[in-house]
Structure 1
Amino acid sequence: MHISHAKRGPRRKAGQAPGRPARYTIAQALLVGLLATSLHSAHAQGSEYHIAAQPLDNTLSQIAERHGLQLLAPANLTQGLQAAPVQGRLTLEQAIARALAGSGLTATRSGNTLVVQRHNTEANRPVNHALPEVAVTAAAEVPFGNTASTSTLGGEQLNRFSVTNAGDLFKGMTGVTAANNRTGASLDLNVRGIQGMGRVKILVDGTQSASSDYRGYGGTASHTFVDPELLGGATVSKGPDAGPYGAGATGGVVSLRTLEANDLIQPGNSYGLRLRGTRGNNSSSGSLGGTDGAGNAIPSNNHIASAAGAWKVNERLELVAAVAQRKSGNYSVGGHGGKDNIFPGGSRPVGQWFTIADTPKGTVVDNTSQDARSALLKSTLYLPHEQTLDLGFTSYDNAYGNPRLTMTTEGTPSQHRLSETDKQTYTAKYAWMPDGNPLIDLRANVWGARSEEYRAGGTWGSAHEQISVTRSSGLELWNTSRFAWGWLPRLDVRYGATWLNEKLDITELGTANVAGVNPDGQRDTYSLFAQFEAQPTDWLLLHGGLRRDSYQLKGSKNFTSSIPGQADIITQYDDSDSRINPSIGAAVLPWGEREEFFVRYSEGWRPGSIREVMNSYDPASMPNGPVVPELSKNLEIGTSINAQGLLNANDRAKAGLTFFNTKYENYVIGGLGTFSNIPGVRYRGLELELDYDTGWLFAEYGLTRYLKQQVCNGGILGCTNGEYYASDIELEGINAPPRYQHSFTLGTRLLERKLVLGLRATVVDDRMMPKLNQDGSRNSTAAWTAGWTAYTVYDLFGSYQFNKRLAVNFGVENLRDEYYLEANTPTQLAIPAPGRTAKVTLTYQF
């Protein structure tokens, strides 16, 4: 794909290799682990198992891992089922028999795959969606001590709707909101009120390639780019994580998994192919006759096409390849309901001219198109002695509208030059789990990512053009040792080290005096961590951990001297710090395996990003300088219940309630080129999840209710539950979530489950924080008060499975054609959501 922009600069050389201190730190950690494992010499027949009572799919995953197998288990068979404890020295067959006892399921081994199915012919019926939802493990990481705060997306949820933006996948997930969802094509998730600058870490197959950019009065936005068409699953871990991927993530870790062999190959086959095409409406080529004014075409239609294939060459080798194309033009907003515009009193306040949401109802929103191409290559090699090696490559190229505040004049939107992102990731993952040795479960990941983003200017011509290159590379190395004694039947210990290198290089192509707000620099983050999970009795589970994080940030900047005739002054920064972060928790199972009460406390630590440290307002200003790292303190208390046979023998139900209270100390705020610390922010709330499935009928309900948001900015009002009168919190990087958000899904499966019909309702309240006057009273007319109002949106979905190979999915989003702004839409980049949009997807798979 080529984007026409005359001043686009050349690509830079790849970054240098990691420094020697990082290699020595990681090597020392590995050596300690291997010395510990060498003390064990038990290699008798069978393996030593110490698996507590837990959801069946988790138990099956751990058993499959132990024997170097992949697991193929349709989620509609295992969801809601609980496995009894699997303890002692057992063969594979014995362990599977104990796990499946009383479930009505069987498991058979086919090569390197463990296939789970029903005893009767029910398993041979067609599934209810185009891509079967499967629980897959290929030397995958099992959640460790944080399952209570983890939400997942499987095949069924991923395929209910053919989404417009990646953030649409997370609609209805409790505690999670897609922020900035209509400004560009990237993914930026808000978890329990927190987002941006790495607070929520988003991984694609374990790689990190997040970037950020300055959007004027719209503040600073964070970006992760991924094509939903190539995803096979997603997991969101809320709160600080003491595991291999938790360094610097104070709000949570989002793990996105691309397609794997078992997503594409049906049981009993050695190969599989999936061809899929989607066609939709609500797409326009824009206001400039099909171009962006710079010679780049804007699509007039709305379609997605993809091809994905997998081949199990033999028992040792699997291959996966996929390509996808996604095109959509500028969409139209809804024509009914809502306000005529987003401002209090129905009109834009005097002096408030930076806004995009003056878009009238039912009209086209410019700068919302995209033209993306993506590709994926993977291979899995099963080595002798229970070893696996996974290699992967992904590419992503997208030309898309990317609204910035410089793209409007007195609130009048117009089409502008497209932006572009070109991204590649490379991964190598090694796993070794020798049969019969519970002290070795070794994982080693090495990866690299490069993202080049051309960011277009706006109404002011090419003044704000720039090229941003983000390079990141990393290494995660850890081992899990499992012990068992008479007085402690189960103790799992995980320990390891990680290293992350991030480099930011920005080239200004425009003439605007904004070079200081787009800095260059490099940051290295190192971590040593240890976790434990112990089960002294059948009814008590204990877990905890320690993580030592350290960082070093370096950068330089040339800034213009105020003395006439004096040369530019070069300023260099070199900052470092470290901290040990604890986590501790317990779960009680008082009435059997299906009820759980839990409590968890954890701390996270986030050093300042390159942008936050090296930023300045203009070339004549000194860089911002070091900021104090943020510290998060997170408390969770909750319960979860899984049940079967409530109304009939085959139904299952699940309920979960979690209270969270998170305090962020030394929170970093920034806007208009400067960043600084404030004393802190606090979020407190509840999450409720209810699921019921009886085969022909299924229902899902999720509620996120914020009880408190408090900002302590050290100003006139000190700590308040509202927004300080003289500032805009979204500009400064503080996000006000809705007071509550409901999501309700009701569906049915008919005609032997070939036909699925369903409806999803999303109900969202106003933003949590009102604008306050200097005396603490509420200000309803302030110029910066613009924001979303409460809304209710209905989405229709369905599918029909013609046979084992051919299926059709269909859906209508925003069924009532509502005019509304989505939650966590920034005040000054307020782009209304798409109006009524219908899509049909045809899938052929064999």
Structure 2
Amino acid sequence: MTPTTTISRAAAAFAFAAALPAATAQAPIAFDIPAQALDATLAQIARRGGVQLILPPELAQGRRAPAVRGALAVDAALAAALAGSGLEAVRHGQTVVVHRAAALGGTLGEVRVTAEAERPGALPPAYAGGQVARGARLGLLGNMDVMDTPFTVTSYTAETIENQGARTVAEALKNDASVRDSTPDGHPFENFRIRNFAVNQNEMTIDGMYGMAPYSHTPVEMFERVELLRGPSALFTGMAPAGALGGTVNLVPKRAGEEPLNRVTLGWRSESQVGTRFDLSRRFGQSKEWGIRINGSFANGDTEIDGQSKQRQFLSTALDYRNGGFKGSLDAYYSKEKFNGGTTAGIYFSNAALGVLPAPDGSLNQFPGAYGEAENKAAILRAEYAFNGVATVFANVGVRDGKVAGYYTGTWVRPTSANGSGSLSMSGQRMYENNVHLETGLRLNFGTGGVRHEMTLQASRLEMDYGYDANSRSGTSNIYNPTYVAMPDLPGSAKKWSDKTFGSLALVDTLSMLDDRLKLTLGLRRQSFKVVPTADGISTGGEVAYDKSVVTPAAGVVFKPWGPNVSLYASYVQGLSQGDSISTTSGYARNYAFAPYKTEQAEVGVKWDAGTFTNTLALYQITKPTLITFDTDAGTDATDGGEKRVRGLEWNTFGEIARGVRVLGGAAYAQGVQTKTQDGTLDGYTAVGSPRWQANLGAEWDVPGTNGVTLTTGMRATSSQWLTNAHTLQLPGWAVFDLGVRYTTELYGRKAVLRFNVDNVADRSYYSGIFREGTAIGTLGAPRTFSVSLTMDF
């Protein structure tokens, strides 16, 4: 970690003056950078000019730079970008420090400059176009630039989330070709499939900590970034509650910027959801060492599901303190979401002769009597202290209590006739999940010969207290013409099912050589997982006692043979998930708990940063153990010798490809195969929920001559996929298109942004994918949805 450096303004002014003659001798560079976020512009200039940029993120917060075009020396380009901002760039050799400009004629006092760009906790700046960031958090490694990461990562910015009208993490991730929802839009939970593996809503991290995200939908108002690390990542994040084998979603909380912020948004969403959001922040103290940021939202009204209404309440507070080598923060939130008048359903197919019926209209309400309420509250305290440029200690603790009551899972329709009629399955639940997450560690930065080390030692512990109970009922209906069926009564309370404990100790080191053109990352994590079930958990939920540990390694290398704009990389990493258990009570001949499953990923790729847009290409293979059941003389037995393998090729692109034209998206080709099955019967068959092709591509165009009008469009497409291992049922492929427009202007002297978006313009009815492996349930795609919002800064 780069230490905090104290520089007097007199010395800074002197250094700047001394640099001027050198600047005149600098070779001009052809710049063509559009007007955009200030941090993105400065990062591009620094990269093109081969200088190290030190930019405290609070100085760039909310600031935009004008267009920088023409043949300019680096210092001249920096001056042009900072014109009118009240900031200045001070050069110290090949390092450029940005801070507030000294007042003319005033006394030059002392200014404290923190090299945030080099600190693991610093927020990477936005990339050209502002839709994604230059880097993301890689678990215990902290923030890393995308060009230095031996994996595939994308960090979606708050600007993108707000412009697209996203309210939840699931809606923000619709930008990504590797991600598909496994629950419908109207469902009270949000689960995903990433790289053709399941990732559940309770497996998202907040600043790298599992168990802190809400136990339901996760509102995005309090987050500056939604980050996606594709593939398993047990070394960097530890074992996820259910594995998170396809990828890790990390959420980065907002912090108070250097300048005061007063922002209010009013919005409407079909059918009649009306809501408001606010975002307020201030810094206090002689050196603005204290910061507070408050985010809140409220929405109420009818949704796009016929007859369904929802109410959302959310409030978060982020406090932070910085002084010398100490940094601390406290994030707290309260979230409550209620729905009435129905919920979406999965369509359960079990008749191969009948096949998969055409998808019903996504706005149809299959369970008009359903209702539910989810309530979550959490607090996360973080602290770190940098003793010097070599060592930093950190400690973090988080608590979250979440509970739900209503019809959240187990609501599906099983058609038995070609006209769509069939049976209903209904389940009303009470559930709770109360978590405590602790972690502490040490970061070391040091050199040995010509090698620079960034080493992290981390210990973590996650404790989860889980309870559940449910009542069920069946009935009859029709997927094309639903009828009202009375829902079962909710149970009186949730019964405690289990206590789960995840403990780990990890050591990872990133070695930088050859002037940072070669980076090698090596690490090990010892992970333990323990389940202590209750009698109710054993008898009702099938919970089993479990106490296993395992060591998981990872290795990655990044090489930049032609300079900083091209990275070649390769990596190996594992994901961990609870091994299956068999018992005599479940019909097996013995009682046995398998060790945690090790899912392995090998990945190679190339990343090309063209200055204002970036392309990444990744080739990967993921193999996951599966359970195989077989018969013996003693009875039914099982082994964990089965295997599912996914081989894939991913292309991702983002940035500004021409003046005022931005792109965001990519395409993914995957071959998911059952490689080891019982008696080899299904070896070579395509795995369930593994489409060959997925593609997402979005574009924005700032219309010339309109002074603030931007047109947006997006496309999402997925090829067909199997619902059953034996290939008896298959979901068809689909494609939907989105359109939007926004207008940035001033109202009464204040910045204002008006947005209008239409998702699924053609109102296509389709199955977006599978609900989960093992049950042939298709997830319905969302119907056409309109949204309008007005954001103003006061």
TM over 0.5: yes
Mapped to 2, the partners of 1:194 and 1:255 lie a distance apart of 17
AA paired with 1:813? Answer: D
Mapped to 1, the partners of 2:425 and 2:655 lie a distance apart of 54
Equivalent pair of 1:107/1:115 in contact (CA under 8 Å): no
In the TM superposition, what is the alpha-carbon distance from 1:454 to its structure 2 partner? 0.8
Equivalent pair of 1:590/1:596 in contact (CA under 8 Å): yes
- Per the alignment, residue 143 of structure 1 pairs with 144
- Per the alignment, residue 449 of structure 1 pairs with 400
- Per the alignment, residue 614 of structure 2 pairs with 654
In the TM superposition, what is the alpha-carbon distance from 1:842 to its structure 2 partner? 0.6
- Per the alignment, residue 321 of structure 1 pairs with 294
1:186 to 189, 201, 212: 189
- Per the alignment, residue 165 of structure 2 pairs with 162
- Per the alignment, residue 227 of structure 1 pairs with 219
In the TM superposition, what is the alpha-carbon distance from 1:378 to its structure 2 partner? 1.6
Equivalent pair of 1:161/1:797 in contact (CA under 8 Å): no
In the TM superposition, what is the alpha-carbon distance from 1:406 to its structure 2 partner? 11
In the TM superposition, what is the alpha-carbon distance from 1:231 to its structure 2 partner? 2.9
AA paired with 1:399? Answer: K
Mapped to 2, the partners of 1:243 and 1:594 lie a distance apart of 27
1:416 to 369, 386, 394: 369
> Could you report, residue by residue, the CA deviation over 1:602-640 in whole angstroms, capped at 9, with x for unpaired residues?
12222259xx899998xx999997344211111111001
Query: Is 2:480 the counterpart of 1:520?
Result: no
- Per the alignment, residue 755 of structure 2 pairs with 809
In the TM superposition, what is the alpha-carbon distance from 1:414 to its structure 2 partner? 3.5
Instruction: Give the 3-state SS of the residue equivalent to 2:185 in structure 1.
Output: coil
Equivalent pair of 1:585/1:601 in contact (CA under 8 Å): yes
Mapped to 2, the partners of 1:798 and 1:624 lie a distance apart of 61
Query: Is 2:257 the counterpart of 1:273?
Result: no
- Per the alignment, residue 24 of structure 1 pairs with none
Equivalent pair of 1:681/1:709 in contact (CA under 8 Å): yes
RMSD: 5.0
2:232 to 210, 232, 240: 240
Mapped to 2, the partners of 1:399 and 1:616 lie a distance apart of 39
1:705 to 669, 673, 677: 669
- Per the alignment, residue 740 of structure 2 pairs with 796
> Could you report, residue by residue, the CA deviation over 1:710-758 in whole angstroms, capped at 9, with x for unpaired residues?
35332551423235xxxxx5xxxxx434533242424235458622112
Query: Is 2:568 the counterpart of 1:597?
Result: yes
2:643 to 653, 672, 680: 680
Mapped to 1, the partners of 2:681 and 2:68 lie a distance apart of 49
The two structures have a TM-score, normalised by structure 2, of 0.71
Mapped to 1, the partners of 2:322 and 2:298 lie a distance apart of 32
Mapped to 2, the partners of 1:431 and 1:836 lie a distance apart of 47
> Could you report, residue by residue, the CA deviation over 1:658-715 in whole angstroms, capped at 9, with x for unpaired residues?
111111124699xxxx999561211111111233513322233411111343353325
Instruction: Structure 2: give runs of 5+ residues left out of the alignment.
Output: 8-38, 75-87, 103-110, 117-126, 350-356, 413-422, 474-487, 630-636
- Per the alignment, residue 545 of structure 1 pairs with 523
2:598 to 622, 626, 631: 631
Distance 1:821 1:770, change over 3 A: closer
- Per the alignment, residue 607 of structure 2 pairs with 640
Length, aligned pairs only:
662
**1:441-840 counterparts in 2 under 5 A?**
441-456=392-407, 464-488=427-451, 490-508=452-470, 520-538=497-515, 539-558=517-536, 574-608=545-579, 626-644=593-611, 652-666=612-626, 677=640, 679-693=642-656, 694-710=658-674, 712-715=676-679, 717-722=681-686, 729=688, 735-751=689-705, 754-767=708-721, 769=722, 782=728, 785=729, 787-802=731-746, 804-825=750-771, 829-830=777-778, 832-840=780-788
Mapped to 1, the partners of 2:197 and 2:520 lie a distance apart of 28
Mapped to 2, the partners of 1:78 and 1:542 lie a distance apart of 38
**1:360-439 counterparts in 2 under 5 A?**
364=306, 369-383=309-323, 385-400=324-339, 401-403=342-344, 413-434=366-387, 437-439=388-390
Tell which has more relative contact order, 1 or 2 (C-alpha 8 A, sep 6+): 1
The two structures have a TM-score, normalised by structure 1, of 0.67
Mapped to 2, the partners of 1:747 and 1:616 lie a distance apart of 62
- Per the alignment, residue 204 of structure 1 pairs with 206
> Could you report, residue by residue, the CA deviation over 1:256-279 in whole angstroms, capped at 9, with x for unpaired residues?
1233223xxxx6x3x221111111
In the TM superposition, what is the alpha-carbon distance from 1:581 to its structure 2 partner? 0.9
Distance 1:589 1:66, change over 3 A: closer
In the TM superposition, what is the alpha-carbon distance from 1:483 to its structure 2 partner? 1.1
Mapped to 2, the partners of 1:173 and 1:797 lie a distance apart of 21
Distance 1:375 1:676, change over 3 A: farther
Distance 1:197 1:815, change over 3 A: closer
Deviates more, 1:316-325 or 1:586-595: 316-325
- Per the alignment, residue 50 of structure 1 pairs with none
In the TM superposition, what is the alpha-carbon distance from 1:496 to its structure 2 partner? 1.4
> Could you report, residue by residue, the CA deviation over 1:532-559 in whole angstroms, capped at 9, with x for unpaired residues?
1112213322111111111221112259
> Could you report, residue by residue, the CA deviation over 1:26-77 in whole angstroms, capped at 9, with x for unpaired residues?
xxxxxxxxxxx9xx9x99989xxxxxxx99759999x999998745266976
Mapped to 2, the partners of 1:680 and 1:493 lie a distance apart of 34
Equivalent pair of 1:406/1:458 in contact (CA under 8 Å): no
Instruction: Give the 3-state SS of the residue equivalent to 2:188 in structure 1.
Output: coil
Instruction: Structure 1: give runs of 5+ residues left out of the alignment.
Output: 1-36, 47-53, 85-91, 117-126, 212-221, 284-300, 333-363, 561-567, 645-651, 724-728, 730-734, 774-778
Equivalent pair of 1:821/1:833 in contact (CA under 8 Å): yes
Mapped to 1, the partners of 2:677 and 2:669 lie a distance apart of 24
Q: Percent identity?
A: 13
